[in-house]
Amino acid sequence: MLCFPKKLLLPLPLMGLLLLLGLSAEPILSQPAQAQQAINQLREPARPNRYEPASNAASSQENTNQEADSKEAPTTESTDKNSTAEETSPIVATPTGVSREAIQRRLEALESAGLDETEKRRATEAYQSALESLSIAEKQQEELQSLTEKFDRLPENIKKYRQELADPLPANPSIDPQADVAELERQATELEQTVKQTTESLAKYQAEPAIRTTRLAELPSLIADAKSELAELQEQTKATPVPADSTGASNLSLAKSLAGQARLQALQATLAVMEKQQQLYSTGGESLKLRQDLISRELAAQEKRLAKLREVINNRRQADATAQAANAARDAEKKRLPPIAALAKRNAELADLRKDASERIGKLTKEREEIAERNLTLKTEFERSQQRAEGTGLSEGMGQLLRQQQADLPDLQNVKRRSATRSQQAADVVFKQYELNDMRSDLSALDIEEQVEKVIAQLPKNYQTGKARERAEQEIRELLEAERKYLDDLIEDYDTYSLNLMQLGAEEATLIKRTEDYAAFIAKRVLWIRSCFPLASADVRPAVDASAWSLDPHHWSDAVTTLALSAREHPYQIGLLCLAMIVVLGAQRRSRRILREIGTQAAKGSCTNSFITVRAIWLTTTVALPWPVLMWFSGWWMDRPLQESEFVRSLSHGLRFTANCLFLLEFVRQLCRSGGLADAHFQWPSACLVQARRSLRWLTWGALPLVLWLVGLEVQNVEPLWSSSLGRVLFIIVMLLLSAVLRRVLLVRGSPLLLTMKQSGKTWLSLLHYLWGPLLVILPVLLAVLAGLGYYYTAQHMAVRLLQTVGVILGLLVVGGTLRRWILINRRKLAKESARKRREAQREQQQLAAAADTSTTSATPIQEIAEEVVDLKALGAQTDKLVHTVLMAIGAVIAVLIWQEMLSAVAFITEKPIFLTKGGTTWGQLLGFGLLVTVTWVAVRDLPALLDFAVLQHLPMDGGSRYAFTAICRYAILAVGIVAAFGALGFHWDSIQWLVAAMGVGLGFGMQEIFANFISGIILLFERPIRVGDIITLGDRTGVVNRIRMRATTIVDWDRKEYIVPNKDLITERLLNWTLTDHTNRIVIEVGVAYGSDTELACQLLREAAHEHPLILDEPAPVTTFDRFGDSALNLVLRCYLPNLDNRLDTIHRLHTMVDKKFRDAGLEIAFPQTDLHVRSVPKSVERLARREAEAETVASNGASNGST
């Protein structure tokens, strides 16, 4: 294989350059596979190229600018390629240029060159690469020519632009007074398009300086790199000899040589373009600025004319509508017959409707223009802020600008609220359009005559003939034609109104999107910029001045005067408020007494009234409300529209903010009162509540006055330095005071909260106390440090959000306590109901036992078999967990909404890939995966229990059905959660289905038993051959089904032993289910009587015993049989049936007792096993031994008798 000399191989940077230019380095590669890969890269769409004359944005921007110049000024920088093509010579730095025609001829000659297929293919690829290089060189030459013409025309354009700016603008053409509204609307629409195009052109010109600045910063290094690589390529080209013969090797070498020369031409042309671009961008700034001024002036004139045109249209439309309404009203006032008067009245109504529509169109047009102008302003500000952020970075000046722009952003809530009403307005307009079109269709030329006849028929008879009829017909026809005219105008107006509504909706949607983007842009940067200098001695003087201003008696006198003036201006409001305050303050003692009484009632263990907890919440709020309300209304009264005193205005804002803080503290304090909501209802530890009340009292009297002071300094506009000096010091003091209170509660030994957590056991809250406790204590200190270092704005925002978060946590604690209280009360109710049912069942069993055996003095204990018992404690615990989890989730969502601005500042982290690879998993995807896994775990754990507790218990379903339903729900939630979690990571089914299939096959072989048990468990849940609570017999084991899980089923036998049976065995083996479809079961009583007994009587007694027992079914009837002749007895069998298994053991016991009693009374002997032993022969040794024993006994007896004698 022929290889190109190694010394001619291009360096790696040059190879990358040529690939980016759209060339191919393939001819100098020795491997065919690499050559084909390079060709494939060349055939792909063009990629961004750092050696192009400008970036894509800059190049397209320049072309757009020149097109605009060519449209508006024929002598500007537009390029006429056809007229200058002959004057421009190709730029070729090599002695011998490479032409496209020559390469085409050589490419065609390869067919008859006699080369083998490999050499022919490689030569063809080299020539094609050369052609592509020449194409790039030609494009660069055209670009160079365009840039050269632009540079040559710069002086002429500058002179022309200056002259145009010096000349006055031509007067706008006057508006034709004879033109109708439709013609004026058409002109306005065309002018709107012109204004839009001019605005876009101006925006492009305004963005061009930043693009040129960026490009000028890149060009020096790009030019230097290009020159270096060009020199290397020239050296390599010179070292490549051009073969003289036409052999296969020489043809291939020639092709590679020509490809290298073509690439050289492309690189030279690119270098020339970059140098010319650098020259043009360095000197063309003045022309660009003058062009911007011209377009801005023209845009202002166009907008002025458009506003005037819109004003004329609205005025003319309203004038026409007003005139029509007046004419119709006068016409309706004429005395006519009732049917004709009804037509005139309807015309008057249509005219009034058009007048109203015209006014609404005018207002809507004005509103749309205002929002469009706000959109344009916001877009311009956003683009400028982006450019400044890229140029200056996060400087303090940039921070001030962003904070000001953040304050000036449109109120998104108001915009969204107005936008939401547009859909209803649009629906009403469409409905009205349908109605008007239907009315208009009834008034066509033919329908008018029909309408005339209908109206004539309603007139008196003397108006239906002769001249009276003719006059009536003419009058009716005129009214109907007028109605048709009104309808046509009204339909046209409603079409305009509908169009304006749609345009306004689009503008509002754009405004919302831009505002959200701009707000996110600001939020990501503003918190990382200092708002002031760090605290220093220079802040002492402003702090002293701020203190003097705040404590000035004249200012406080102005505040009192303002309150008096407000009371004088609004006496009724002040009177109502004072009366309400008197009533509320007078009811404080009664509210506290009632709160203690219902607390005492709630603390009882037998309380089942959940309403008293809601009432306690209301009373707690009522007790905490008066003073915050009085403070808030005082601040509201001071905030008068014409308020001149800056002190009074700042005091007003401070009072209202402090009132919110006071209500939060006071509500918590009343919540923690003895016998109150937290103590009696939520059962929080009393020692912790006492400590909380004491700490809240410190915060109320120590921190709130400082908060009032610093908020007033923050909102005042007298001197900005007062906020960053004295206000910042007050903020630091408040944060340190808060930290001290938290330390006393969370970290000091002997704190009731710490003791309570130790006594509560090893919960996650107590285990992690050494982590979150110090963190909460240090957090206010960190905010104070941030404020001292100059990040006062950031510290303020974080403190406000901390306050909001505390309020949310307090609300969630109250809601959680209320829900737990409700759950506790419901558990008590269910427990009482369950106990009542058990007592009734026990009483019924005792009565049945007494009826069956009157001689029994005490009832036999009831054997509970498969009794369905609701585990209230387990259900309550699971529900508590679910409530806790749901509240945590709600709190997390609200916290995200509260801290959204802060989170935006670190949002870019979630967009970064974890392993720093393009297209890899990002931190945001990983966070979403973890969140979905957590939610799925919580849902699988708690949702089925809550569903059973809250819904299924109240449905006509047995325990087995409820268990199957909740188990299926658990599996479904798990499956959905897994799919969603892996979808968040980017794993979708279409991309991993083959992997899942392969893993399924592998796991199916390796874990087939586990999969078989899992599938069997699903079959058990759906087919339900067994259910929870069923009594089954599997093999030699009988018991009650307790749980059906994913892999195995738990069976509890009569000894309370739990057997774990794989689900597969329950499907594949023989199984007896005693309670599958019918709970009726049979009892078999076997009795043996002695031989010679009366078997008929015995069978009759057995049947009597069965009939006398109340639980034995009459259908199927009891059956007695003489079963067989046994070894020692005549075996009789009683077979009878029970309705269920609940009392099976007790019934067997009762039947045995009754049979035994009846048989004894009847003299029937119940046989027992007997054995007769017959001895046929005895061994001699045994016989001798027996004889000796007999003799010994005789001697002993004789001796005893002699002794007695």
Q: Which amino acid is at 766?
A: S
pLDDT in tens, 716-767: 888 888 888 898 999 999 999 999 988 888 877 767 777 776 666 556 666 6
* Nearest residue to 941 (alpha-carbon basis) of 885, 892, 1019, 1017: 885
Contacts of 100 (CB under 8 A, 6+ apart): 131, 134
**Could you give the residue ranges of the DSSP H alpha helices within 466-529?**
466-526
Report the phi/psi class of residue 1056: left, alpha or beta, with left for phi > 0 and alpha for psi in -120 to 50: left
pLDDT in tens, 941-959: 767 766 766 666 666 665 5
**Chain CA centroid to CA 572, Å:** 47
Q: Report residue 978 as tokens.
A: 């897994």
* Nearest residue to 32 (alpha-carbon basis) of 128, 110, 122, 117: 122
What residue ranges do the domains of the chain occupy? 6-170+178-297, 334-526, 537-835, 1081-1162
* Nearest residue to 532 (alpha-carbon basis) of 794, 730, 712, 903: 794
Residue 1026 gets which letter from DSSP? Answer: S
The whole-angstrom separation of Cα 680 and Cα 691 is 17
Q: Report residue 863 as tokens.
A: 């054997």
Contact between 77 and 69 (Cβ < 8 Å):
yes
The whole-angstrom separation of Cα 1099 and Cα 1107 is 12
The whole-angstrom separation of Cα 1024 and Cα 954 is 22
The whole-angstrom separation of Cα 563 and Cα 820 is 46
Instruction: Report the predicted TM-score, pTM, of the whole model to 2 decimal places.
Output: 0.52
Quickly count: other Cβ atoms within 10 Å of residue 508's Cβ. 22
Please provide the average confidence, as pLDDT, over all residues in the chain: 75
Q: How confident is the model at residue 604 (pLDDT cuts 50, 70, 90)?
A: confident
Cα separations (Å) of 256 from 28, 42, 111, 130, 243? 7, 17, 17, 8, 11
Quickly count: other Cβ atoms within 10 Å of residue 214's Cβ. 17
Quickly count: other Cβ atoms within 10 Å of residue 1127's Cβ. 10
- pLDDT above 90 covers a percentage of the chain that reads 3
Predicted local distance difference test score (pLDDT) of residue 1029: 74
pLDDT in tens, 377-401: 888 888 777 777 766 666 666 777 7
Whether residue 243 has a cis bond before it, omega within 30° of 0: no
Query: In CATH, what number does 1081-1162 get?
Result: 3.30.70.100
Contacts of 966 (CB under 8 A, 6+ apart): 944, 945, 947, 948, 952
Q: Report residue 997 as tokens.
A: 């299939």
Q: CA-based diameter of the chain, in Å?
A: 176
DSSP codes of every residue in 614-679: HHHHHHHHHHHSHHHHHHHHHHHHH--TT---HHHHHHHHHHHHHHHHHHHHHHHHHHTSTTSIII
- pLDDT above 70 covers a percentage of the chain that reads 77
Q: Report the chain's terminal Cα–Cα distance, integer Å.
A: 146
Contact between 267 and 17 (Cβ < 8 Å):
yes
Give the chain's radius of gyration (CA, Å): 50
Contacts of 189 (CB under 8 A, 6+ apart): none
Give the residue carrying structure tokens 């201006």. 569
Looking at the predicted structure, is the pLDDT value of residue 961 above 90? Answer: no
Stretch 420-426: mean pLDDT:
79
pLDDT in tens, 78-135: 333 333 333 333 333 333 457 778 888 888 777 776 777 777 888 888 888 888 888 8
Predicted local distance difference test score (pLDDT) of residue 1113: 86
For 1042, the enclosing helix (H) or strand (E) is: strand 1037-1044
